[in-house]
Amino acid sequence: MHAFRPIVALLIAASVPLAGFEDPAPPVPQKLDAIIPPTPVVQPELNFYQAPKPLSPEAVTSDWRDFLGPTHNGYSPETHLVTSFGETGPAKVWEVSRGEGYAAAAAIDDKVVIFHRSGDNEVIECLESETGKRIWMHAYRSNYKDRYGFGNGPRCRPISDGELVYTMGVEAQLHCLELSTGRVLWERDLKSEFDLTLDFFGVGGAPLLEGDNVIVNVGAPEGPCVAAFDKRTGKMVWGAGNEWGPSYSSPIPADTRAGRKLFVFAGGESRPATGGLLVIDPETGEVSGSFPWRGGRYESVNASSPVVVDNKVYISECYGAGGVCLEIKKDGSCKELWRNEILNTHFMTAIHKDGYLYGVDGHGPRNAPIVCIKMETGELMWKHEPEWMASTESPSGPQSYNLMPALASFMEVDGRTLVLGQYGHLAWLDLNHEGYKELELTHLFLARQTWAMPALSKGLLFVGQNDEGLDGSSTRFICYDLRKQ
């Protein structure tokens, strides 16, 4: 019986059409025999400060394996986290220096996977979550140079199913590695295979694991716009759409009245600027609904992931179109409910809570308030732009700055909202429709481009500093202890 199961799986996979698209270069997976995983080592890049507090036996914990966390919407089930950061902020457990890039970490079991560029290589590293010791490292060549002068490293957070880990590099190099050893199972050069351009800032839309497939907003010139690759073989299972290029938004899965669907907010560099939402069957790649939505400017981007709540989906951008709320009908098609330009998110994804949407309006760094709107109607409830002070030691002496959250990220966890601001602030907020309420605020470091949502797992917060600090600190990944004693 066991020998029969792989044959059945192959027959099922072969029966699913590629929806009119051919796989240009199916990879040949490597045969990975069972070996003893590497022993963690203390690498030169590591600074260890102190062990984290013990986890409460009552604490609920979770991995952070996907772009927006375990439920794909910025929510974490973790409990027993600190309510106060204290006078000096949360305790550092460890930090490791890193190269260029904006990719956030992924936390799986007792491991953290980081992704960055060092010299002429994109580097994937697996570390012990409580010590920062390196378990394995894999590197490959990258020649990317950002035409706008931003970092030349990867933008996409690694994702994992607990056994394998997947990374998408800034030049569309898709890798599948064994999580325990770092050995490559398969890899694809999607840029060459699908004749892709790298758009304004390289590849920035993180892939999604859905069932046995890795979902990618490929954005090939003549299609597919979205492709599914078998997570174990790397072969293309289906392709969908041929209108829109690759965005900087990550696909989102959700259960709706139309069944399980993928929501892909697509749209890459093009003249005229085009893009929009695709509603896709995750098994077959059939597109059941689409809705054009894109700012008219050539340099516009679609970067925020869709927010799906029951049978409604909210998509937003900040280059002219604004936000729109759609109803997903029984056949998977889209019906517009309302549109406005009140909550125009850039690349942060809004949080839904109790019938209201919360997010940052605009692309900042100033005039980017936190906004609350009613999801049913789009009505503005309130907007507020906090002023957060920051002090640091610079070569010329102590300096103080009056800063904003700007391009912040929101995480709903333990009954509150954890906010990581663009300049390294960390805050607890009480998001409610009656008004802005700040519970706790601290400052981790003073550096620009703290754009990626951190990972939270087992009471540990993993934050990437993506730019040199005004205090002279270098780019790094930092592990903070948020465990409540």
* pLDDT tens column, 48-83: 999 999 999 999 999 999 999 999 999 999 999 999
Higher pLDDT, residue 377 or 398? 377
Q: Tens of pLDDT along 14-39?
A: 444 576 899 999 999 999 999 999 99
For the chain, give the percent of residues with pLDDT over 70: 96
> Which of 103, 89, 95 is CA-nearest to residue 390?
89
State the average pLDDT for the chain. 94
pLDDT at 396: 80
Say what the pLDDT of residue 165 is. 98
Ramachandran angles phi, psi of 193, nearest 5°: -65, -40
Torsion on CA atoms 9, 14, 20, 23, rounded to nearest 10: 80
Q: What is the CA radius of gyration of the chain?
A: 22
Per-residue pLDDT tens over the stretch 254-286 = 999 999 999 999 999 999 999 999 999 999 999
**What's phi and psi for 79, nearest 5 deg?**
-130, 175
Contact between 104 and 113 under an 8 Å Cβ cutoff? The reply is: no
Residue in this structure with the two tokens 């802005």, named with its chain if needed: 436
**Model confidence pLDDT, tens digit, residues 182-202:** 999 999 999 999 999 989 999
Amino acid letter, 221: P
Q: Is 190 exposed, middle or buried (CB count within 10 Å of its CB: 0-12, 13-18, 19+)?
A: buried
Model pLDDT, residue 96:
98
Check residue 129 and give its pLDDT.
98
pLDDT at 19: 66
- Name 388's Cβ contacts closer than 8 Å, sequence gap at least 6: 402, 403, 404, 405, 421, 423, 425, 427, 441, 443
Please give, one letter per residue, the 3-state secondary structure of the chain: CCCHHHHHHHHHHHHCCCCCCCCCCCCCCCCCCCCCCCCCECCCCEEECCCCCCCCCCCCCCCECCCCCCCCCCEECCCCECCCCCCCCCEEEEEEECCECCCCCEEECCEEEEEEEECCEEEEEEEECCCCCEEEEEEEECCCCCCCCCCCCCCCCCEECCCEEEEECCCCEEEEEECCCCCEEEEEEHHHHCCCCCCCCCCCCCCEEECCEEEECCCCCCCCCEEEEECCCCCEEEEECCCCCCCCCCCEEEEECCEEEEEEEECCCCCCCCCEEEEECCCCCCEEEEEECCCCCCCCCCCCCCEEECCEEEEECCCCCCEEEEEECCCCCEEEEEEECCCCCCCCCCEEECCEEEEECCCCCCCCCEEEEECCCCCEEEEECCCEEEEEEECCEEEEEEECCCCCEEEEECCEEEEECCCCEEEEECCCCCCCCEEEEEECCCCCCCCCCCEEECCEEEEEECCCCCCCCCCEEEEEECECC
What are the residues whose beta carbons fall under 8 Å from the beta carbon of 256, sequence distance 6 or more? 308, 310, 311, 328, 332
162-182 residue pLDDT tens: 999 999 999 999 999 999 999
Q: Report the pLDDT averaged over residues 287-309.
A: 97
For 304, residues 6+ apart whose C-beta sits below 8 A from its C-beta are 249, 265, 315, 316, 317, 345, 346, 347, 348, 349, 350, 359
Band of residue 485 on the pLDDT scale cut at 50, 70, 90: confident
What is residue 395's predicted lDDT score, i.e. its pLDDT?
A: 77
In this prediction, residue 328 has a pLDDT band, given cuts at 50, 70 and 90, of: very high
In this prediction, residues 326-331 reach a mean pLDDT of 98
Asked if residue 443 has pLDDT above 90, the reply is yes
Specify whether the CB–CB gap between 389 and 403 falls below 8 A.
yes
Whether 482 has a pLDDT exceeding 70, the answer reads yes
Mean pLDDT of 333-360: 98
- What is the per-residue pLDDT across 401-414, written as a single tens digit (0 to 9) for each? 999 999 999 999 99
Q: Which class for 29: exposed (0-12), middle (13-18), buried (19 or more C-beta within 10 A)?
A: middle
User: What percentage of the chain carries pLDDT values higher than 90?
Assistant: 92
pLDDT tens, residue by residue, 92-103: 999 999 999 999
Q: How much is the average pLDDT of 458-473? A: 95
pLDDT at 6: 36
